[in-house]
Structure 1
Amino acid sequence: MTPALLVEAVAAEIEQAVKDYKLKAEGQADKRVTVYRQHIPDEDFRTDTYYPLAIVSWQGSQDGEDGSLATVGVTFGVYGDDKEAWRDLLSIMERTRQRLLIFRKLADRFRIQLPTKFETIENQPCPFWFGYATLVYTIATPTEELAGRWREIMEEDNE
């Protein structure tokens, strides 16, 4: 399924962008950034802290005469009880932004569209710091000519 494949591809790129980066976590020594797909599973919080994190979520698709686009949102979050923790947030956001702009085509099928949008909010709920990205990717456009291959196409996407 295209939305799930796109979420996975973006999440995998973010994991590459932050793989060697460790940040402060609630009550823990430095911790790697966890990249969640679509949501945070409740069971992960029972044994760990969510932060630092990135949540990659499909927000919707749009089909038009010129092709199809899908929008992906990314929520970034870090924990920091000092006033400089915002720097950690901006660091993982910038690592992600640069990685996605350098590697613009993901999984040989999704191409990022410009402009991208990375932003924060002014009033952060300290000691938690949040930022957001909105990314648009081109995706394959289904056409009427594919009607005879419907079952084949759906089986391929489910494997």
Structure 2
Amino acid sequence: MTIYNVLNNFKKFIEEVALNERLLTKTNQSKMPQIKLGYLEDNEYGEEKEDFPYIVIRYLKDQVSEESATVNIKVLFGVYSEDSEGWMDILHCMELIKREILKKQNFDFYTVELPIKCTIPEEHPFPNYVGMMELELTVPRIEMEGDEEPWPV
């Protein structure tokens, strides 16, 4: 089990949750948000594409101790809205995913710990709106092989 497996599993979960969601694009079409791991692709000028709507799952850090192992991730949400109500689309997406996480909380090989932190920044680069969710996942800790004690006493 690797952190990549955890992220990929979580991505599949988000894809299932967002399957029926439709949000506007800059060309006024309705589509499901693209769901990516890490970062949006760069355009030909080396700048991040503004390919709205999107949900990006980003690794922040991980930590292993004697008792447990955790992975912290950030889920970024981006929508396009020509009116001042774009923040409502962000809130809707965050609530949808948060609700489904709380229903399940224990996944195949990790657990989403509470609290779940959601933020919508006060300032937005209109007509683009963004939000973020921070999660801590408890994952299996790799045990040392052999007869030696894994941690000094």
Give the alignment's TM-score, normalised by structure 1: 0.82
How far apart in 2 are the matches of 1:49 and 1:57?
17
Matched residue, 1:126? 126
SS of equivalent residue, structure 2 residue 123:
coil
Q: CA deviation at 1:146?
A: 6.3
Q: Which has the higher strand share?
A: 1
Q: Which has the higher helix share?
A: 1
**Change over 3 Å in CA distance of 1:146–1:23 after alignment to 2:** farther
How far apart in 1 are the matches of 2:16 and 2:83?
27
How far apart in 1 are the matches of 2:79 and 2:39?
16
Q: CA deviation at 1:50?
A: 1.4
How far apart in 1 are the matches of 2:51 and 2:110?
28
How far apart in 1 are the matches of 2:85 and 2:74?
25
Matched residue, 2:100? 99
Identity %: 24
How far apart in 2 are the matches of 1:31 and 1:146?
52
Q: Does the Cα contact within 8 Å between 1:25 and 1:49 map onto a contact in 2?
A: no
How far apart in 1 are the matches of 2:41 and 2:146?
36
How is 1:66-145 mapped onto 2 (pairs within 5 angstroms)?
Answer: 66-106=67-107, 108-145=108-145
Matched residue, 1:4? 4
Matched residue, 2:150? none
Structure 2 unaligned residues grouped into runs of 5+ = 44-48, 148-153
Structure 1's consecutive aligned runs of 4 or more residues displaced over 2 angstroms after TM superposition are: none
**Change over 3 Å in CA distance of 1:146–1:131 after alignment to 2:** farther
SS of equivalent residue, structure 1 residue 105:
coil
How far apart in 2 are the matches of 1:36 and 1:63?
26
How far apart in 1 are the matches of 2:143 and 2:83?
53
Q: CA deviation at 1:65?
A: 2.2
Give the paired residue count. 142
Q: Give yes or no for the alignment of 1:57 onto 2:50.
A: no
Q: CA deviation at 1:84?
A: 1.2
Let me know the Cα RMSD of the aligned residues. 1.9
How far apart in 2 are the matches of 1:138 and 1:144?
18
Q: Does the Cα contact within 8 Å between 2:116 and 2:135 map onto a contact in 1?
A: yes
How far apart in 2 are the matches of 1:127 and 1:118?
21
Give the alignment's TM-score, normalised by structure 2: 0.85
Q: CA deviation at 1:60?
A: 1.2
Matched residue, 2:41? 41
**Change over 3 Å in CA distance of 1:118–1:146 after alignment to 2:** farther
Paired AA for residue 63 in structure 1 = V
